[in-house]
Structures are given as C-alpha cells and as structure tokens.
Amino acid sequence: MPKTKFKLSAPLPHQQYLHIELCVNTSNRQTEIYLPTWRPGRYELGNFAKNIRAFKVFDQENNPLLIEKKSKHCWLVDSANTKQLRIQYQYYSAELNAGSTFVGTDQLYMNPVNCLVYTTEQFNNPIQIDFEIPKNWLVATSMELIKNKSFEVNSFDELFDSPVICSPNLVEKTYELDGHNFHIWFNGLLNIQWDKIIQDFEQFTKKQISDFGEFPVKDFHFLIQTPNYPLYHGVEHLKSTVIALGPKYDVFGSLYSELLGVSSHELYHVWNVKSIRPSEMKPYDFQSENYSKLGYVYEGVTTYMGDLYLLKSGVFSLEEYLKELEKQFQKHFDNHGRFNYSVGDSSFDTWLDGYVKGAPGRKVSIYVEGCLLAFVTDYMIRKACKNKVGLEGAMKQMYYHPEIVKNGYQESTYREILENVSSISFDKLFENYLNGLHSYESILIEALDYFGLELVKNSSPSYSESVLGIKSIYQNGKINIIDIFPGSPADMSGLSIGDEIIGINATQLNNNLDKWCRYYDQNGIKLHISRKQQMMIFEMPTLNRSFYQTIKIQSLKEISKNQLKARQAWGCLGER
C-alpha cells in the first residue's frame, strides 16, 4: 500500500513559517490537492489556506508542474506524465490555541488538520511524518513512533485527529487504568504538582470509564500548553486532547478548577463525538460545512457531563460543582437570544456565527443551552427510573448501538434511546425546548428541586446593569456598552451596543460608572455618549424594576429523604 511521506521543519523559527514537503503517489491525469476547510471540534470554516505561501509541485524527475487554483483550498495539478508528486509549501504559524499550528524558537506545535494537504486518492492510505527538529527536543503525540522523530498513522482521517507538540520544554507523567495508559504532557510549565493532578485525573477518568464500560483506545495523551498570557481552550481528539491554559503561573492556582473542567470535558468527548457521532459527520467531510442540529448532544451533553463527572468522582464538592453549573445558568438568563432561536437551530448556524457573539439577541449556545437541557434530560430519566440510571445510561446505549457505530445517529435515534432508557415520552422536551422557544426557567427549577436545590435570583450588584440595563466593559481607558437589556431604561432611551459612555450629568467618567450612577440616583441620570464620533446625551427613564440579575444555585435549607437520595444517586458521594 503506497505511503504518503511528509517532512516538516522550521529553519527560521522567528519568521514562524512551518516548511512542509510531501511525496504522494498519483494515478490520475489531473490531481486535486486539498487543504481541509475546517477542523472537527470547531464547527465553523477555518480558512486555513490564507496561511499558505510558496506552493509548488514537482514531478518524480523534479520538474515543476503547472498548478491551477480551483478554490480557496484546492489546487489542480497536471499529473499526466508522473506517478508521484512532490509538494512544497510554507504555512504561517503564529497563533497559539488548542486548535492551531504554532512555530516558535522553542516549539513546533501542529494540528495537522490546519496545515497538511491531501489527495482523495491517497486519503485512506498510511502516512509517515518526519520532523526535522533539534536532537534534544521531545515529541508529544498520539501518533505511532516508527523511528527517531518519525511517526506513522493509518490514514489522513487519523492524521487530522493527531496533534503534536515538539519542544525541549516538555515534561510527562503517566497513570494507568484498566490496561490503558494516560499521558499528561505539560509544555513550558514549572513547579507541577504531579501528585495532585494525577490523583484528580485518575478519579474522573476511572468514573467515566466505569459508566461507559470501556475506553476506546489503548493510550491517551493530554497535551497541555501553558502560555504566559490568559487563555482557556480545549480541543478533543480520539487519542488525545490539546488544552491551552494560561497564564502559566496560575495553572495550579485559580485556574486549576478550569484545568480539571476542560480536561474532564475533553476526555468525555472520546466517547461523545469521537465515537458517538451525528450521521451528518459520519465520516467527517473536510471540504465543506457539516451541518447538524444536534450540537446540544455532542457539545451540550459533554459540557454537562464533563463537569458532573468531577462531582461524581469526588474531585469536586457539591458547592464547587454548583459554581460551575451557575455559570451556565447565568449565561442563559443574560442572553435574550433564548427568545428568538432554539438550541437546535443555533447548532445548525454555528457555521455562521457560532463562536462569536454575533447579532444581539439572535441565537443561543450549543454549549450553554445544550448543557442546561442535558441537566433536565438527566433529571427526567432519573425521576422516571427512580434514580437507578440517568443520562449516563442513555449515552452508554448510544456508544454500543450498532447503527450509531456504523452510520452515526439522528435526532430520532437520540430521542428513541432516551425513551427506551426512561420509558417516558420526550416529545415536549424536543418540541418545546430543544427545537422550540419555551422558557427554560420552570423546567430548570423543577429539575433543581428534584435534587434538593433552588434557583435564587438577585439584582446585579452593578447599578448600571440592574437599574439601567447596561452591560459595559472598561478597556483602553474607555467604557463601551456591550449589551442592553430589552425594555430597560438604556433601551428605551435609545442607547446602542457599541456606544462609548464618556460622562454622566456633565461629569467625566473614568472606570467609575456605577459609583457616579449611585451618586446621581435620586437626581435623574443623563448619560453622555460618543457614537461613531458623534456626541449625544440620553436621559434615562426611571423604571421600578430590576434588569440584569445574578444567579445562584444553592441547597434547600431542608431537604426530604427523596431529594437526598436523588442527590446522592446523581453524583454526591455522601451528604456535603
């Protein structure tokens, strides 16, 4: 079987170009060479080809071949007189996150799906990757090592799912569970608390494997980038995950709960989306959008279960877990897009604007609303089954379902499994919530109460948020409006998102909006605004109600035996 061979190097790392050369066999008179248009885990077009320069193709005699650009990510080559193509190009690699490719003086970090081209003829054949890097550099990857600094995968599908970090600053430790090896790699981090992290990772890993009954792969790698600046990102793969978390001095400080959360989330993805996949993505189509309305399963369920497993495994206390759940509730109630677009429709539109705020009040999030409805689904199953099983039981059935293994699942498959596990109808959940615009509040309160919890809403401590309905950000010496509560004084007066607030009642502001608002509370408030370099004044009407609120989830002061039993079955390892 012919093998495609890549050679990767960065001879001038300060320029941040990754030099790529590959040799690929061809039997076609014309060969189309493709770069993926997106990467799994990020359901939007990536436009990676914008980073490519000096694209050249040669025949087996080293003669240059004519290239015609067919689309932004496709090159057509005249290959009538050759059986092998040698392709050379450079890829600009200046962005560091969990899904990018980055070249620096101390690392070569690559997500192959960003930067490595392929042909459809050789897509399912083996690939060899040779790294031209300094001898003292280590390599962290799930790819199989075949010789020094050379690795192999079985297909381009596997290659695109195999990120790699090459660096002299890598450190690694391993833990073993049920014959599976889990490698934790840190790049560029000092003072790692290995005993602490291994104990915590072992606990949530063991519980996830226990609930699914098996782990799909022999070895798994946590590839953790720790930059000097703030960053929070994770991307799932079948045999690994990349996590980018910074600043590095706080990874084992205030960011440690974030590290646990994203790590548990990405591990859960090994089952949910890398193994349990919507039919629209079975297999992935790397040349166009893979539209699906099921983001509330592959991201929403994962967001919910990833955090829940920290509770179920004893890594988080109930109070620590509820803080994470509160964040999802807060995002939901702050987003008025919940009145306009269902989570199913928002999933389909991630390819439009799923990873930016987008038009105000237009859409919701597959992560946030998907998480909340997964919580409701879990509650519904547990209530129907008298706490003998929950959503984890349904996901286990999904994982072993032969049709899903072969062809992926559809909404009807997911609903059927939920109903088989619980013996109740999920019609209303799908029609009114997953695909509808009903308010979540009543079903969320109902689900919380089942576990002896309650939802508490209080006015935001920020005057401008609670009284005026303004969310703002202070940046570079300016106060800019980033959101406005519909029907609030800010909305009724005519303020717009993007306005700069420069003063109040003829008083100049300097990151002290709320203090001056409280000062003028009984005297009427006029805000001085700069809108596209036009000075304007808006008088705030007085409305006797609160707008933006803070969300708190807390345990009921008195809980029944049934609520305690449900809570313990849900995840609490005893009363906390």
pLDDT per position as a tens digit, 19-62: 999 999 999 999 999 999 999 999 999 999 999 999 999 999 99
Phi, psi of 494, rounded to the nearest 5 degrees = 110, 15
Percentage with pLDDT > 90 across the chain: 98
pLDDT band with cut points at 50, 70 and 90 for residue 572:
confident
Structural domains of the chain, with CATH: 4-167 (2.60.40.3650), 169-270 (1.10.390.10), 280-453+572-576 (1.10.390.10), 463-539 (2.30.42.10)
C-alpha distance from residue 383 to each of 296, 305, 329 (Å):
21, 18, 21
Query: Which stretches of 153-193 are DSSP H helices?
Result: 156-159
The model's pLDDT over 227-259, given as tens digits with 9 standing for 90+, comes to 999 999 999 999 999 999 999 999 999 999 999
Predicted local distance difference test score (pLDDT) of residue 576: 42
pLDDT single digits (tens) 433-488: 999 999 999 999 999 999 999 999 999 999 999 999 999 999 999 999 999 999 99
Residues 182-195, mean pLDDT to the nearest whole number = 98
Label residue 517 by pLDDT band (50, 70, 90): very high
Render pLDDT for 205-233 as a digit per residue (tens, 0 to 9): 999 999 999 999 999 999 999 999 999 99
Could you write out the DSSP letters of every residue in 239-278? SEEEEEEE-GGGTTTTTHHHHHHHHHHHHHTTTBTTTB-B
Answer whether residue 574 shows pLDDT above 70: no
Confidence (pLDDT) at 489:
98
Beta bridge partners of 326: none
Residue 573 pLDDT exceeds 90: no
pLDDT band of residue 2 (cuts 50, 70, 90) is confident
pLDDT for 78 beyond 80 = yes
Residue at token pair 């994203």? 262
Indicate the pTM of the whole model.
0.96
C-alpha distance from residue 285 to each of 111, 204, 280, 354 (Å): 17, 32, 9, 19
Q: Is the pLDDT of residue 1 over 90?
A: no
Q: Which pairs from 479-488 meet CB under 8 Å and 24+ separation?
A: 479/509, 479/511, 479/513, 483/334, 483/360, 484/360, 485/336, 485/547, 485/548, 486/336, 486/361, 488/543, 488/547
Q: Which amino acid is at 31?
A: T
Structure tokens at 403: 């049709």
Residue type, position 276, single letter: I
* Spatial distance between the Cα atoms of 556 and 452, rounded to a whole number of angstroms: 6
- Residue partners of 15: CB distance under 8 A and separation at least 6: none
Give the CA-trace dihedral at 222, 52, 17, 100, to 10 degrees.
-20
Average pLDDT over residues 378-385: 99
Neighbours of 191 (CB within 10 A): 8
Contact in structure between 502 and 529 (CB atoms under 8 Å): yes
pLDDT (average), residues 406-432: 98
How far is residue 216's CA from residue 209's CA, in Å, rounded to a whole number? 9
